[in-house]
Structure 1
């Protein structure tokens, strides 16, 4: 038999390369598919452009929407452990499998399309998007999984979508405490909430056994403590008040109560919710707040609401939900 011609040999080589490349591509696509189990991504019809309360449905962990009293729950959002949305974007935090603990911070647009993905160490804890949707923050537990213990450490990041700049940890921001520059290796930040100008923010800082409410300035890259014993702040839509959880007891079963602070007078008042709330409350509007409490009948949590002026009685808003965020 005559040996194959040069042209035939070349054709055989090209065919083999294409087959190998196709097999490799198929393997990669299959691997990527395996990395994202069904339910992690939103259904094509689900977005956050419709008015309503968005939240994490504790049955399956996917994001859902409640349009109003008596309306059916709309499901089909992505799978998230923590969630928040405002303006043009949403933030979804997912705990990744494996050890050590890692969190995937997924930035989405209003139609649930991926904008950016960041992987950070730790367990998902807090998520916030600025009113414009352009600045985002997340907090993870890098040590421990509860604020009700001294053995915990957090890492809080801020992402500016206008510039693409990511601050992986805000611990190095110059902090003024008691009128003086404060330095300590035990400084921890968590629970950021943003003002409408995408520059001013509030957060919790813990140092030397105490927690403080701090006001930060992104452009000036500075932060100053405003008062002690205030955690997980949430700025009202009108920018005049901060809701926060205040430690009122050393009982580990019920250490906190929800309060609202007037930023102009620095006067505070408790809200009508009698239970201990370990959550970063979300403002429904300028008059009411939503927050998660441990659920009954074996549910992980329920979403409740209460008036911001401290009057009235708490009301069950969403059974089997957490991470509330109001749109519209």
Structure 2
């Protein structure tokens, strides 16, 4: 297990370095941060609200909720802090980083009370909850894999069934099929899981041999199979027919990423009307709109949205926020 998962691309190394700097700054600024401007209690109860991690100076790192119909309006602020967060079906996942580079994966109930905790070593990267709230997944950056000589960052992605307690610490243990053939390699690497409504099927990104694939996974059988290349951080639409994803510009992550939508039945790809670099796992606001975070200076970011059919222009959805989730 510990001799696998290299992100075998220079751009990803740049990304992880940026993540280390950002997380370090966030950890420093979170100490002594004040919780202000509450407009009611923060809960994960399903309803017409958006959840996010605040990047405002006054409540940096704290979980906030806003009205889905007025996301720029008053926000409720929770005392709970996370580095990455997501929620659905009344369940939340909160990735918290300690000063010794360990990460706590905390499963939260509707009232933000801790239901379960999984200690990990690494830097928080991605977090997702299945639409029902049953399945949770996380990705962390790690170092020390033997094939990389301890020089590069790799990732470790796990999945937990909160109903049964069953799970896997790393998708590297799954049987992999590449282009219809069984595949095994030391550098297989996963990140960015998104769940289907059946709490079994999922999609994710797999990297190996310098290539990045969209994979279709099966939790029960512990298998994944490749679907197509240059698809990262997929996000399944509420109707289950499309995937929003980021793709490396000209196949090179060092050039940045652009958002697109993949139709699963036709394999048609629709570039979205967001010209900026989007290094995020997008979320669907509804079947017509996707949202994502764009950094703004050091330690700040905003949540933007754009139509999923390639039309329109980007719209500022939630100032001073990141890691958004739709509760309703």
Query: What is the TM-score with the length of structure 1 in the denominator?
Result: 0.82
Cα distance change, pair 40–211 in 1 and its aligned pair in 2 (3 A):
farther
Q: 1:65 to 1:45 in 2, by over 3 A?
A: closer
Residue 88 of structure 1 and its aligned partner are, at CA, apart by 2.3
Counterpart CA distance in 2 for 1:178 and 1:46 is 45
- Whole-angstrom distance in 2 between the partners of 1:251 and 1:194: 27
Q: CA deviation at 1:47?
A: 1.0
Q: Is 2:152 aligned against 1:151?
A: yes
The answer to which structure, 1 or 2, has the higher relative contact order (CA under 8 A, 6+ apart) is: 2
What SS class does the counterpart of residue 78 from structure 1 fall into? Answer: strand
Query: Does structure 2 retain, via aligned residues, the 8 Å contact 1:299–1:320?
Result: no
Q: Which residue of 2 aligns with 1:189?
A: 190
2:43 maps to 1:47: yes
1:294 is matched with 295
Does residue 85 in structure 1 map to residue 81 in structure 2?
no
- Whether the aligned pair in 2 keeps the contact of 1:137 and 1:192 (CA below 8 Å) is yes
Per the alignment, residue 209 of structure 2 pairs with 208
**Residue equivalent to 1:8:** none
Is it true that 1:56 corresponds to 2:57 in the alignment?
A: no
SS for the counterpart of 1:171 is helix
CA RMSD of aligned residues (A): 2.3
Structure showing greater Rg: 1
Matched residues in 1 for 2:254 and 2:299: separation? 18
CA–CA distance in structure 1, aligned partners of residues 33 and 169 of structure 2: 28
**1:262 corresponds to:** 263
Give the unaligned 5+ runs of structure 1: 1-36, 145-149
How many correspondences in the alignment?
Answer: 284
Which secondary structure does the structure 2 equivalent of 1:72 belong to?
strand
Per-residue deviation, residues 261-295 of structure 1 (Å, max 9, x unmatched)? 00001111110000010000000010001100111
Aligned to 1:311, what secondary structure does the other structure show?
Answer: coil
**Alpha-carbon separation, structure 1, partners of 2:202 and 2:34:** 30
- Could you list the runs of 5+ residues in structure 2 that have no partner in the other structure? 1-30, 145-150
TM normalised by structure 2 equals 0.82
Q: Kindly tell me: are residues 299 and 142 of structure 1, through their superposed partners in 2, closer, same or farther at Cα, counting changes over 3 Å?
A: closer
Match of 1:322 in 2: 322
Q: Distance in 2 between matches of 1:38 and 1:131?
A: 34
The answer to whether the Cα contact below 8 Å between 1:64 and 1:77 also exists between their aligned partners in 2 is no
Q: Pick closer, same or farther for the CA change 1:261–1:321 going to 2, 3 Å.
A: same
Matched-pair contact (CA < 8 Å) for 2:50–2:326: yes
